A and B are shown apart, each in its own frame.
Chain A
């Protein structure tokens, strides 16, 4: 499927490669482009739909959501999600549906499961550690003598 990437891999090149893959791959596997999917009338449902398509990864692109991808797979998935939202499926059901078929990596919001506990819990742990460090330092410093301020 993806052929050899453009030769550059610099910081800049990586960013560009991330995006140019969209064009390169899609150009090589192009079907007639699909009609853009119309917005949903109900604003609440439409907001959910918009949010969802930003959270589903386009698997033929390097790192884009299906909302930002011109590829056919992205279009088909958008259509599917559009239907599922209108059919009353919940966000969780839609996410599960896609993950069951494409794997967890299609979701930009990693599901909370044993292999992501460290991921989701990590920032909180880091914050607690930080708070612990803060308290220790402030306690130690508050106990030290505070001399008169010398003129700056």
Chain B
């Protein structure tokens, strides 16, 4: 009975989202204030029912209701309670419901935050969001219903995939999904602007915090995914250029470009059509990611189970939303071009170059990800495109961006003085060059050209970002920078950390695979590893062989490390839990492999210098975004609106 209530709630949510989608948009077109005013209450109602549906599914998991097919597929009585709760997003149907919930949350937030905007605009924004909700809920109800029953109900379920039984499972989707889905908000703002034909600095000021918010979530979500893959998959890799990873990275690149384009639009009132286009592209890539990962089209060459019906539906949604927005763009964008000059040497030009490079990078990743599909489709062959391609193309595009970044941060708007820039940046540039070329030698005793280039670039970005506050402090003055400015500095410092971490973890990565017997001791990259032995371990829903290792440096015991080869009782696929001894300076990663018989075990040791800088850099970037979004100028108008709600609501088209 209760699961049916969940389904009913979803149906009601669909109806409300249709109301939210259609009537306000039509109303805005016709000038009917009563229809426009439906947007906010409809959004609130949709939010209530979606939450209800989500709660019902959660309840089904927590009460082990295996009569619900989805619960039977992804849960088990022995599954720890914490994992039962998060198993909702452990499968397609449930994760779609989560998608819808996140969208409803964003919509609700926009509805609350839109009080300072004219109703004719806010109703359009919420209307677009309503249409997106409607399509997604319809897709879920008709092709991916999480409330489908299983009769007769089995005694127990299939258990959650062991790889997902991990704290990372708690954190990764709840940060990634708000990012993905959150890009629908700037999308909605952009479409609303195209519909009204007006886009001014106010629009940019309204759109920017939402974009930053989605961007922050996406940054953290991708970072957590990378860190989780690193310690969960047992091989020491942190980025694989998988289709699934690329599906989340491309929207991130587009969102970053969007952020920077908004900066120009907010400041100068130009680049309007570019900003709108980027907003539409960012969300389109989000939808594309949904399509690629749920339709089975990319994996279909190597798998047997794919659901063309689902794929067709998502493709239809993609054409509806992206296609519709692009058609609007083709019709309306040319009327948005505004006057505003700037010279080649100016911040606008640097930001333009920055955005072009980000878009080209996203395009290149899209090309590499889709290329095997293109060839298969045209019967021109079967190839694989993997790390060697992406690791070659992506840094090639991003290094120039990083070099320009360091300069662009200090370029004046409209017309910057090249000589003044040269003077200011001579010191950080020289420092970066000197430190970047010598430090690798000092720390590691060897350096490749690529390693040096990477470190120099990372240091350059960091030093250039910190130039302003440091030089002011050095003069004895207080930095006196706005929060927005601090946000920019922090975010770019994060970029620097990331570049250094990625460079060093790749260039100085040590990988040793060996057969070891208890009592063996060997040297790896300046550390000594001693294999103490193995013992049998019983977990809550798995059995494991646990290998104990001792890590020494210079004769001193640093850490006792334990790695497990687990076999979960229900889904019997073996899984490795690696042992990681990690500091900011390096990770030592030990994984117990197969039992080779005769007392010998396969052991994998990885030493990854500065790999934590990668995730640290990303977190710092996200924090920078937070600082920037909290700048007072975005919240002034909210306070003003709260003080005069009558006035704001009355202001019509």
Contact = CB atoms under 8 A, between A and B. Distances in A.
> Is A–B contact present in the complex under a CB 8 A cutoff?
yes
Interface of A: 2, 4-20, 23-24, 27, 32-33, 35-39, 50, 54-55, 57, 62-65, 67-68, 70, 103-111, 115-116, 118-119, 122-123, 126-127, 129-131, 133-134, 137-138, 141-146, 149, 152
Contact of B367 (A32, A65, A122): A122
A142 B367 contact: no
Contacts of B237: 68
Interface string B521-534: 00000000000000
A37 B594 CA distance: 13
B573 A23 contact: yes
From B225, B305, B349, B596, name the one whose CB has the most chain A CB atoms within 10 angstroms: B305
Contact of B342 (A16, A119, A142): A142
Contacts of A8: 73-74, 90-92, 95, 161
Interface in B175-216: 176, 180
A105 B384 contact: yes
Given A7-B91, A20-B573, A23-B575, A130 B382 contact: no
16 contacts: A8-B91, A8-B161, A11-B290, A13-B90, A17-B299, A39-B513, A62-B303, A104-B382, A106-B384, A107-B384, A108-B384, A110-B385, A111-B383, A119-B389, A127-B360, A146-B414
A32 B595 CA distance: 9
A16 B161 contact: yes
A137 to B, nearest CB: 6
Contacts of A11: 95, 176, 180, 244, 247-248, 289-290, 293-294
B91 A35 contact: no
A5 B294 CA distance: 13
B296 interface: yes
The 7 A-B pairs at the shortest CB distance, nearest first, are namely A108-B386, A144-B341, A109-B388, A23-B573, A10-B95, A8-B91, A33-B594
Interface stretch (B103-111, B320-328, B350-358, B544-552): B350-358
B233 interface: yes
Interface string B615-636: 0000000000000000000000
A104 B383 contact: yes
Contact of A36 (B233, B344, B414, B593): B593
A64 B368 CA distance: 16
B421 to A, nearest CB: 17
B90 A105 contact: no
B382 A105 contact: yes
Contact of B387 (A23, A55, A129): A55
Contacts of B349: 134, 138
A70 B593 contact: yes
B364 interface: yes
Contact of B242 (A18, A20, A57): A18
Interface in B264-300: 267, 270, 289-290, 293-294, 296, 299
Contacts of A39: 512-513
B397 interface: yes
A149 B415 CA distance: 11
Given A7-B92, A10-B293, A108-B386, A123 B513 contact: no
A40 to B, nearest CB: 12
Given A8-B95, A123-B396, 9 more contacts: A8-B161, A11-B293, A14-B243, A16-B161, A18-B242, A20-B163, A119-B389, A137-B352, A144-B339
B245 A13 contact: no
Given A11-B293, A12-B90, A20-B163, A123 B393 contact: yes
A55 B92 contact: no
A45 to B, nearest CB: 15
A10 B92 contact: yes
B348 interface: yes
A36 B89 contact: no
B352 A19 contact: no
Interface string B366-398: 011001100100001111111111000100110
Interface in B117-165: 161, 163-164
Contacts of A64: 235, 240
A2 B356 contact: no
Interface residues of B, number: 94
Contact of A142 (B343, B573, B593): B343
Nearest to A78: B513
Interface in B296-328: 296, 299, 302-305, 307
A17 B94 CA distance: 16
A122 B361 CA distance: 11
A63 B240 contact: yes
B364 A123 contact: yes
B609 interface: no
A119 B385 contact: yes
A118 B305 CA distance: 30
Nearest to A10: B95
B383 A105 contact: yes
A7 B409 CA distance: 48
Interface in B226-254: 229, 233, 235, 237, 240, 242-245, 247-248
A143 to B, nearest CB: 7
A84 to B, nearest CB: 18
A23 B574 contact: yes
Contacts of A20: 161, 163, 573
B200 to A, nearest CB: 14
A68 B235 contact: yes
B34 interface: no
From A32, A38, A103, A142, name the one whose CB has the most chain B CB atoms within 10 angstroms: A142
A37 B595 CA distance: 15
B371 A141 contact: no
A99 B579 CA distance: 36
A149 B244 contact: no
Contact of A116 (B340, B357, B383, B596): B383
Given A10-B294, A70-B594, A142 B344 contact: yes
B615 to A, nearest CB: 17
A127 B387 contact: no
B96 interface: yes
B343 A12 contact: no
Given A11-B247, A35-B596, A142-B343, A5 B574 contact: no
A59 B317 CA distance: 33
Contacts of B290: 11
B511 interface: yes
A65 B393 CA distance: 19
B343 A146 contact: yes
Given A11-B294, A134-B353, A142 B341 contact: yes
A144 B127 CA distance: 37
Nearest to A129: B360
B384 A143 contact: no
A119 B95 contact: no
Contacts of B430: none
B515 interface: yes
Contacts of A63: 240, 242-243, 386
B597 interface: yes
B173 interface: yes
A11 B242 CA distance: 11
A17 B376 CA distance: 22
A38 B514 contact: yes
Nearest to B392: A109
